[in-house]
Structure 1
Amino acid sequence: MNVAAAPAATPAEVAIAYHERTKHSLKRYAAGPETLDWDGQPDPFRQFAGAARTELPLLADQLDTVYADLFVPGAVAPAPLSLAAVSTLLELSVGLTAWKELGPDRWAVRANPSSGNLHPTETYVIAQNVPALPSGLHHYACRDHVLELRCPSAEAESAAAGRLWIGLSSIHWREAWKYGERAFRYCQLDTGHAVAAFRYAAAALGWRAQLVRGLDSAALAALLGLDRAEDFPGAEREEPELLIAIDADPGAAFVADALPALDRAHWTGTANVLDRHPMYRWPVIDEVARATRVTQATAAPPPQAGPDYPPRLPPATARAAGVILGRRSAQRFEAKYHMPRETFWSLLDALLPRAVAPFDVWERPAALHPIVFVHKVEGLESGLYALPRLPAAGDVLRSLLRDDFEWTRPEGCPAHLPLYRLVRNDARGVIRTLSCHQAIAGDSCFSLGMLATFDEAMAGGAEHYRYLFWEAGMIGQALYLEAEAAGLRGTGIGCYFDDDFHHLLGLQGRQFQSMYHFTVGRPMTDARIVSSPAYPGRKA
């Protein structure tokens, strides 16, 4: 008797199976390492030995751009595209911001946050006709704030206008070393944080940014040199993520995918090994990575009219560089502090999908919608709230969430802010439990979980699994900077009990899934931690 073989799983089915497999729950955690050798932590800094280096000046702290002007089109005059400006862009997005020490431990803090401060994201720069910077593909070595030339341009230097692109990749092992199978999720969140970080940095220079859609994953890997096995002998490979086009002259015509040709006969540099003795292997990460790669490049989706939200009027008068370079992840919160209500409104208002930084880099309709646990906001009742970022999502959520939810507008809420109270209660203990028993979720002023229109997104292809995390990371980056600008702090929460959170809301099936959690409050500082400059001995 012949039995037909089961049909192979589609890429979307592989991604969905991974998502289900890597959920934490009150009954069990997703598969991860049973022990950690902290002395054997992977090297957080990739370098390419033998590549020519261009040292970058440290100028970001001299930038006078006001943080509030990042959200006003035309408020910041475009900086000329130069080595100094490229350096500032990198310093404000993926550069080091400080070194920290506690006892025998020393670690770096960066402008872009990362799960567990493990930083799987690597940055590449493609430059053409930028004064004082060799044209070609460079790797950004953030520890030393230098560019390593991996492949020169095949096009002659000219007086034509300069052009710039940023490529991002992920080293999965950096996260998997600590987080096991769930690491792919965190790598994708970190990519989203980095996209938003670059968009904020570009806005501070008066520049625009947009994602390049004209490359599939294989083409991007070839462009960034990630497919060159000979350049990674025994070293951890990098997964291509995306390419960002930087428009340094918003008044001129700009073609995002008009990439310069590289001289592919002259690659230089060999990647360093990050972990010589890995203790575990997580093959499911490679499976979901393969399944979610872009296999066919597509054009950017046509613009879609969204809600006509009024312009943002952030109260922050601080310099953008001060906010960005001062961003930190909170470790503990003052449990008795209450946030002013106007600050709370402003933080949520920053998450609406306006055509300004950071969300104008994202050309897709908003797919993430926060469910907010309000703990301590002056003049606002504690309880559970919903912030559907698109009206249609609000209608669907109302039909799927619990029947006994109120869906009432809180008193004093700005008319344009789509915030709805679902239930009045003190949910600090509930969200602490759902956040893998982490105190920061309950001690904060508010916490939130980001629900994604999961089934709808996955119907568009497996690569949308990555896109959902990227959008979630962008929302997280907005919360980080808005909290910092308000004199508060935030922190991302990647460990939470997925389906238990869904059940609390009355959700069934996969129409909505939570992709990321976040929490904001007033931080408590640890006086034992000593801080030192990011680049000691370096001058502007």
Structure 2
Amino acid sequence: MSTNALEYHERTKHSPKSVRSGGRGLNFENKPTPYKEYVDRPSVAMADRIRPPQQPALSAIAEPTSDGRLESAGASRDGTEPTKPDLEALTTLYYYAAGITKTIERGGRPIPFRAAATTGALYHVDLYAVCTDLEGLAAGVYHFDPRTLSLDVVREGEYRDVLARATNHEGVADAPLSIVATSTWWRNAWKYGDRTFRHAFWDSGTTLANLLSVAHALEYRAEIVTGFADEPVADLIGVDPAREAPLEIVPIDAGDGLSSSDGAHGVDPIDPETAPLSPNEREFPLIYDAWAAGTVADGDDAKSWRSGRSADETAPVGTREPGDGERVPLEPVGHETASSRPLHRTIRRRGSCREYDREPISFRKLSTVLDRAVRGVPMDVPRGGPLGDSADGDGTDGGKPSLSFVDPYLIVNGVSGLESGSYRYHPEAGELELLQEGEFRREASHLALDQRLGGDAAACIYFLADLEAVIDAFGDRGYRVAQLEAAVTAGRLYLGTYAYLELGGTGLTFYDDVVADFFAPRSEGQTPMFLYTIGRPAP
């Protein structure tokens, strides 16, 4: 029996009762490897150097559009013609999105950590490149291996037309390079079971937040395409969606587009042999059912899906109108006085805070992180509606709201210059709306699965969605988009946080319905998608 998105979400909610009764031991002898290892595919080395993005992290995350050339389309910031992607650029994109950026000794053994935060550090998200001939790399389909910083050759030749037909999206057809993100279910389900379908979008979202920021810092056009025919893309990269499924496509840059001689062929099926992930790989049918419920058959259907089913195709879906609570304007600093920590150093520094000091953080720093990170995600599903200026006067994406599927709510317990309490954040106005005044450390800890980190954090930032409205407008596939918008925004919050040396942050899990009740009545009909916490790390 198939499971739709709403049923899946309800069945995978956390509650105090389910967490107490649902614990299961982990078999570490059966823990899956966090890498995909091909047995029968050749590999090619990536560039022997990377191009560290020097743009300040707080500037790189603030780009809400697909065009990384902020000042004028088609020209770089210094007026020169931008370079097209090459092997060095691809190496840079991969390294700062999903590469191994640090190794920490724990229990006497080295533990490698990657560029983006993922649930349980299980790293179930893989990246594939589909490209034309690039400088240093022949046209083909390639899998990124972060262990060796190399590319596994999945297919040789021009296959961009397959993605173009599967998406019916101009940006994909024009791009010399597109990156496909996937999730290998078992690598996450070993610990988290059926919740892995949620985590697929949490973890691909934080990964793509890095990828977009790096692409824009390198002045490449980049956006996330969520509407595509799933099976043809899976066939192209040689994966079985029951085990590993495509989630998103990110076209990088724009070229002259595909000509009639560029590919235009069918795809022969391939079944590359890979090493076992663990001795006994388990299947979780609910994950696959949730994925299958939102699949799209072909490019025409994908194009139709993007417009949604609402009367106003560009209006936010299920977000709540502002209320009459007291408004507190943010106090972000301008780009000239904000932290200038480069994006590459910020990504290498980023971690997931394991303990907070309750020493307050400044309202100005919180304001700056919120202002830069919550400006909108460049995706293929439309954003639209009235837009005010951002708090620092730069504006965001002209005529479009910052978020289309989720609303940000905050619990503030340790921010100097801001009263403790619960708030709704209105990004277009650059204001916080007070919902309830008071200290809520005990409640914040309880909401976050009774984890101390939630109560010790200076602020907890929740993203809530009206899933019934989203799915009514975009079908079961809309569930993916709501989760993804929250996760990419949270990924940008990570980068904005770690641009400041004295700040730290981490994502946490939560009791779904308890969170919705806490923010009621404003949150009536909404459910949490993601929780990000920010504070001062304990020494």
Instruction: Identify the residue that residue 355 of structure 2 maps to in structure 1.
Output: 332
Which one is further off, 45-54 or 168-177? 45-54
The partner residue of 2:445 within 432, 435, 445 is 432
Provide the C-alpha distance between the structure 2 equivalents of 1:474 and 1:446, rounded to a whole number of angstroms.
19
| Pair 1:242–1:429, CA change in 2 (3 A) | same
| Pair 1:470–1:256, CA change in 2 (3 A) | farther
Q: Give the Å deviation of 1:254.
A: 5.6
Instruction: Identify the residue that residue 297 of structure 1 maps to in structure 2.
Output: 302
| Pair 1:213–1:42, CA change in 2 (3 A) | closer
The partner residue of 2:215 within 198, 202, 221 is 202
Is the contact between residue 516 and residue 523 of structure 2 (CA under 8 Å) also seen in structure 1? no
Is the contact between residue 435 and residue 441 of structure 1 (CA under 8 Å) also seen in structure 2? yes
TM-score for both structures, normalised by structure 2: 0.79
Instruction: Identify the residue that residue 341 of structure 1 maps to in structure 2.
Output: 363
1:47 and 2:70 aligned: no
Provide the C-alpha distance between the structure 2 equivalents of 1:268 and 1:79, rounded to a whole number of angstroms.
36
1:373 and 2:411 aligned: yes
1:353 and 2:367 aligned: no
Provide the C-alpha distance between the structure 2 equivalents of 1:113 and 1:439, rounded to a whole number of angstroms.
19
Provide the C-alpha distance between the structure 1 equivalents of 2:92 and 2:129, rounded to a whole number of angstroms.
13
Instruction: Identify the residue that residue 523 of structure 1 maps to in structure 2.
Output: 537
Provide the C-alpha distance between the structure 1 equivalents of 2:257 and 2:513, rounded to a whole number of angstroms.
44
Q: Give the Å deviation of 1:332.
A: 0.9
Q: Give the Å deviation of 1:317.
A: 0.9
Provide the C-alpha distance between the structure 1 equivalents of 2:260 and 2:8, rounded to a whole number of angstroms.
32
Provide the C-alpha distance between the structure 2 equivalents of 1:469 and 1:213, rounded to a whole number of angstroms.
12
The size of the alignment, in residue pairs, is 468
1:383 and 2:383 aligned: no
Instruction: Identify the residue that residue 536 of structure 1 maps to in structure 2.
Output: none
Where in structure 2 are the equivalents of 1:409-488 lying within 5 Å?
Answer: 416-459=429-472, 460-487=474-501, 488=503
Is the contact between residue 61 and residue 321 of structure 1 (CA under 8 Å) also seen in structure 2? no
Is the contact between residue 51 and residue 149 of structure 1 (CA under 8 Å) also seen in structure 2? yes
Is the contact between residue 163 and residue 246 of structure 1 (CA under 8 Å) also seen in structure 2? yes
Where in structure 2 are the equivalents of 1:173-188 lying within 5 Å?
Answer: 173-188=186-201
Is the contact between residue 224 and residue 250 of structure 2 (CA under 8 Å) also seen in structure 1? yes
Instruction: Identify the residue that residue 155 of structure 2 maps to in structure 1.
Output: 151
1:505 and 2:511 aligned: no
| Pair 1:31–1:389, CA change in 2 (3 A) | farther
1:245 and 2:263 aligned: no
Provide the C-alpha distance between the structure 2 equivalents of 1:426 and 1:259, rounded to a whole number of angstroms.
61
Q: Give the Å deviation of 1:53.
A: 1.3
Is the contact between residue 23 and residue 497 of structure 1 (CA under 8 Å) also seen in structure 2? yes
Instruction: Identify the residue that residue 234 of structure 2 maps to in structure 1.
Output: 221
Q: Give the Å deviation of 1:106.
A: 2.9
* Corresponding residue SS for 1:97: strand
Question: Structure 1 vs Structure 2: percent identity of aligned residues?
Answer: 25
Provide the C-alpha distance between the structure 2 equivalents of 1:352 and 1:287, rounded to a whole number of angstroms.
32
Q: Give the Å deviation of 1:27.
A: 2.1
Q: Give the Å deviation of 1:388.
A: 3.9
| Pair 1:265–1:424, CA change in 2 (3 A) | closer
Letter in 2 for 1:452: A
Unaligned segments of structure 2, at least 5 residues: 64-69, 161-173, 322-329, 384-403
Q: Report Cα offsets for 1:41-72 as digits up to 9, x if no partner.
A: 11001121232212123534644333344247
* Corresponding residue SS for 1:49: coil
Q: What is the root-mean-square deviation in Å for CA atoms of aligned residues?
A: 3.2
* Corresponding residue SS for 2:155: strand
Provide the C-alpha distance between the structure 1 equivalents of 2:177 and 2:448, rounded to a whole number of angstroms.
40
Instruction: Identify the residue that residue 505 of structure 2 maps to in structure 1.
Output: 490
Is the contact between residue 33 and residue 178 of structure 1 (CA under 8 Å) also seen in structure 2? no
Which one is further off, 288-297 or 114-123? 288-297
Instruction: Identify the residue that residue 392 of structure 2 maps to in structure 1.
Output: none
| Pair 1:214–1:509, CA change in 2 (3 A) | closer
* Corresponding residue SS for 1:323: helix
Provide the C-alpha distance between the structure 2 equivalents of 1:30 and 1:297, rounded to a whole number of angstroms.
41
* Corresponding residue SS for 2:416: coil
| Pair 1:482–1:58, CA change in 2 (3 A) | farther
* Corresponding residue SS for 1:89: helix
| Pair 1:214–1:21, CA change in 2 (3 A) | closer
| Pair 1:375–1:150, CA change in 2 (3 A) | same
Where in structure 2 are the equivalents of 1:158-173 lying within 5 Å?
Answer: 163-173=176-186
* Corresponding residue SS for 1:29: helix
Provide the C-alpha distance between the structure 2 equivalents of 1:257 and 1:187, rounded to a whole number of angstroms.
35
